[in-house]
Chains A and B, each alone.
Chain A
């Protein structure tokens, strides 16, 4: 070992201590994670594109699906999602400000900006939960055909969508939900709609101002409206009533749309949720003065990277789910 001449580390390329990328170990690992996670999300979004291109002529139109704003009635496409996007970008901004304050070792500012970031994240997750609840509950209700296609209803006079309750008849039918306790467990009914197929069909026949709207998108980029005769003919294909959306049925159109909605926004929401949890942990560490004693606030920067990444993913989810 005596023969080994060790001069200064700056001349010794392989002696360790080099930082060719100028970033610390922790930051590099965070970037590794972000790149791999970005590829996971890309996989999801591209498979969404795959299914959409497969059914390009019948895919649901997002403006007609996400039309609700909490505490307001009426048709407001996109406004609420735009608000959610803004909230997330805003919480990203407070995060950068926290990182910036950390670089300048201003503990109280870091605490405040982290706090605002956490609040923003919580509002976003809450909004997403509300969005899910609204989507699951459904809007107007629809019929599903033998081939699994969706038939929706439109009032011919106003041109507005018609809800099942607007025209369905209430017939004197006995209809009891089949519970698992009354039979074999695998025969249990999932959910029961407010009208039976027969009630919807009879109601449709009795109200001449209701037309059927199919999933097919026409030249104008709108769903095709059938004439009264075509509607009556199409009605014969109907197999069941669908209200709301779940992983099996979807009143808004293609079932894959609902599946991807739950999967992609769910996975993103899970990221936001874990981001909030990590932010809370770092928040308390800042309050306790951990990073003040450590001499630097790099940990805030690392969770910041993750938080911005969540925002970045949302920008893409917003475009491909709601805009395009």
Chain B
């Protein structure tokens, strides 16, 4: 049984959708951060699958490595901001962020 590119892209789109839905529905910063990671990893899946279907160059695989590295950097900055928010507010609920309005 051959798994076609469409299958991988569908799975990737479903994962991306789950991540986006989680980001929009959750109100906990940490969970929102995890949702973003799911979205980034769904992109990795798509990139690698496309590269497998078109193996003329390795652009997709290399891209996936860069995405992993950038996701790590993004997580470190995100967690630093999260800690700074927690220190000041004793909470990581994004609903509590109501100082800036209008």
**A associates with B:** no
Measured CB to CB, the residues of B under 8 A from A are: none
Measured CB to CB, the residues of A under 8 A from B are: none
